Amino acid sequence: MPSPLISPIELADLLRAGTPPRLLDVRWRLDQPEGRPAYLDGHLPGAVYVDLDHELARRDDPRHGRHPLPPRAQLQAAARRWGIRAGDTVVAYDDVHSVAAARAWWVLTRSGLSDVRVLDGGLRGWLAERLPLETGDVLPRPPGDVVLQDITEGVVDIDAVEEWPDHGVLLDVRARDRYRGDVEPHDPVGGHIPGAVNLPTTVHLAAGRFRPPEEIRAEFAAAGIGEGVSVAAYCGSGIAATHTALAGTLAGIDVVVYPGSWSQWSRTRGRLGAVGPAPSLDVVPV
């Protein structure tokens, strides 16, 4: 099975080969979710723009969270628009820590694609190697014909995640101040799911690239994750948790994702929220 990462030099070599991969530009961040203007100003040659909010997520009932998983038909239609055909190699990238690109990697691999990778270092890593960009839009012709599956594996729902700390490790991969409940800029209340351990997904990076597998394993071990331990991850809205799932794959650790994450949990009556640093914390209704 191919590595889920590809370096800028490796990707440049593939682009020069006879069957270049399908490139997905997934520029998105919480404070600037619309990445198309930056994409039009400059993107990797042949890359198509992916709208994370509307193609890699479903936006309807806020009780499902801010970025619930897209239904199969929606994702398949988007993948065909991107030009993906059966058997293609797909490479996703962004310009902030590969978090949005990891979402594309995760939903596509969980939907049945066998060769999806993330550009390690993203757009900044590509530019650091003095590799070229192109401007304008890319509209693949003809469109793709890929057939995707429903996402049924590697996910955990709100009821199962509540019980997760009883038999495994539940990771909250947000920044420490949001985990503690000191700040909460996006959801109704701050805090975290009781029993969750904080492991910000950014610890798996160094200079914008993923750290070596042994270093990632050491970070997981420090959070109490050893051999045979079941691991689930959540974040604010299910985006950064897929980045932790990618880090886990690099380290040989299976991480399932709670897609609703804190944005669903904090909007659901009857759930409890914990604030403060573990293990000394207060538990209150959300």
pLDDT (tens digit per residue) in 102-160: 999 999 999 999 999 999 999 999 999 999 999 999 999 889 999 999 999 999 999 99
For 219-269, write each residue's pLDDT tens digit.
Answer: 999 999 988 999 999 999 999 999 999 999 999 999 999 999 999 999 999
Range 30-47 average pLDDT: 93
Please give the share of the chain, as a percent, with pLDDT higher than 90.
Answer: 87
Confidence of residue 286 (pLDDT cuts 50, 70, 90): low
The answer to whether 235 is a known catalytic residue is yes
- Residue 52: what pLDDT? 97
Mode of pairing for the β-strands spanning 197-198 and 272-275: unpaired
Lowest mean pLDDT of 30-39, 167-176, 216-225, name the range. 30-39
Average pLDDT along the chain: 94
The reply to whether the predicted model has a pTM over 0.85 is: yes
Q: What is the DSSP letter of 128?
A: H
Decide whether 5-128 matches 158-279 in CATH topology. yes
| Torsion 154-2-48-205 (CA) sign | positive
Token output for 43: 């993107």
- Residue 2: what pLDDT? 75
Ordered by start, the domain boundaries in the chain are: 5-128, 158-279
For 181-201, write each residue's pLDDT tens digit.
Answer: 999 999 999 999 999 999 999
Range 19-28 average pLDDT: 95
CATH of 5-128, one of 1.10.3720.10, 3.60.70.12, 3.40.250.10, 3.40.50.180: 3.40.250.10
**Given 235, 250, 257, 286, which residue is catalytic?**
235
- Residue 1: what pLDDT? 67
E strand map for the chain:
5-6, 22-25, 48-49, 90-93, 116-119, 168-172, 197-198, 205-206, 209-210, 230-234, 255-257, 272-275, 282-285
- Residue 280: what pLDDT? 45
């990797």: which residue's tokens? 44
CATH of 158-279, one of 1.20.1560.10, 3.40.250.10, 3.20.20.70, 3.30.565.10: 3.40.250.10
- Residue 30: what pLDDT? 81
- Residue 240: what pLDDT? 98
